[in-house]
Amino acid sequence: MTTPIYDGLLLGAHLATLEPASGYGEIHDGALAWRDGVLTYVGPRADLPGEPAALAREVHQATGWITPGLVDCHTHLVFAGDRAREFEMRLQGASYEEIARAGGGIVSTVHATREAGEEALLAQSAPRARALVEDGATTLEIKSGYGLDLESERAMLRVARRIGEALGVTVRTTCLAAHAVPPEFKGRADDYIEAACGWIAELHREGLVDAVDAFCESIGFTPSQTRHVFEAARGLGLPVKLHADQLSDLNGAALVAEFGGLSADHVEHTSTQGVRLMAEHGTVAVLLPGAFHVLRETKLPPLDAFREHGVPMAVATDCNPGTSPLLSLRQAMQLACTHFRLTPEEALRGATVHGARALGLDDRGMLRVGMRADFVLWNVRHPAELCYWLGGRLAERVVSGGVRVAGT
């Protein structure tokens, strides 16, 4: 008896490989096969090198479309509590300052996260991650930044690692200790940054940090303080990314590009010079339309400049309790089309090819032989439907490393 050469084989669905530089890379009546977690055949069913039953241990007939697994390259999904009451207060006319004086804002999330403990933090955060996976995400970036002390930052990063193990998906952890100044360091931002750099080194030694991020903004940290964090990360051999130019242009995108950063995120106020430097250094622009939507922003990112200079545009949820309580990367894609006028193809590339690049991952994001077997079977008649429908359940099967992690 011939030994099967594939672990699994899906037949009949159309493939959106995203293999060329533009277009969906469509293969109609396709076949997708994998072995040991890696794609081993991507092409027309008619070109398979033999009878399907003899080629694979498991053969499944499918309809609809298959895309690469979605990559959510910017989330803050590990936290305790919520800020739904603040959302209501803002709609009733309360200002951010009034909410903060009442104990709200990021301080409330920091307090709840510190108080929760690791097990409670996992219990509250895992369902958010599960929602993202069930909607097609097979790779998640998860940041710390709501602990703002060593033990709480450690707990957040440990929970992020545990979520990946429990759900069977890839989780990349980012240390965002430079997110805000905690109450105990009020008025001593430089001292806090010095302490945070020490924590980054310790957490990296414990194997909890894949990258380092910071919030460079007038209500966050200065470019000088951010540079200090990046220098510490570089000394540890860790890649950097940045919450850059969201509310004003502090040249954050240019700063992270100078350090060869993976991505500049938000980027609504990024200058043309910042765009040029991102292009020169290969830094990805991560668009976060969820926060843009919730905050009712009007300043668009420099989308035409990104296109003109060839800066890849990723799309992510920015899932967080304050400004983007978004639990669907597909919904982020829809918002990117609606608010930023991305095409559905650009949005899909942003949540696959470019999202992977924003995490420094070159083994996923397309359907190509040799790539990791991360893919989603969608109940749609065309890939544009992924950005067309507002809500609903479209993912029929979600596969990570050749293993089904959601769907049937």
Burial class, 171, CB count within 10 angstroms (exposed 0-12 / middle 13-18 / buried 19+): buried
246 is in an annotated binding site: yes
Evaluate whether 24 touches 359 at the Cβ level (below 8 Å).
no
323 is in an annotated binding site: yes
* Phi–psi pair at 8, nearest 5 degrees: -145, 155
Evaluate whether 370 touches 38 at the Cβ level (below 8 Å).
yes
* Vertex 138 angle, CA 316 and 216, to 5°: 30
Spatial separation of the C-alpha atoms in residues 407 and 58, rounded to whole Å: 17
Evaluate whether 214 touches 221 at the Cβ level (below 8 Å).
yes
74 is in an annotated binding site: yes
204 is in an annotated binding site: no
Pairing between strand 30-35 and 38-44?
Answer: antiparallel
CB 204: neighbour CB atoms within 10 A? 18
Residue type, 298: T
Copy the structure tokens of residue 118.
């690791």
83 is in an annotated binding site: yes
260 is in an annotated binding site: no
309 is in an annotated binding site: no
130 is in an annotated binding site: no
Pairing between strand 375-378 and 403-407?
Answer: unpaired
Known binding residues for 4-imidazolone-5-propanoate are 83, 146, 179, 246, 323
Known binding residues for Zn(2+) are 74, 76, 243, 318
Known binding residues for N-formimidoyl-L-glutamate are 146, 320, 322
Known binding residues for Fe(3+) are 74, 76, 243, 318
Known binding residues are 74, 76, 83, 146, 179, 243, 246, 318, 320, 322-323
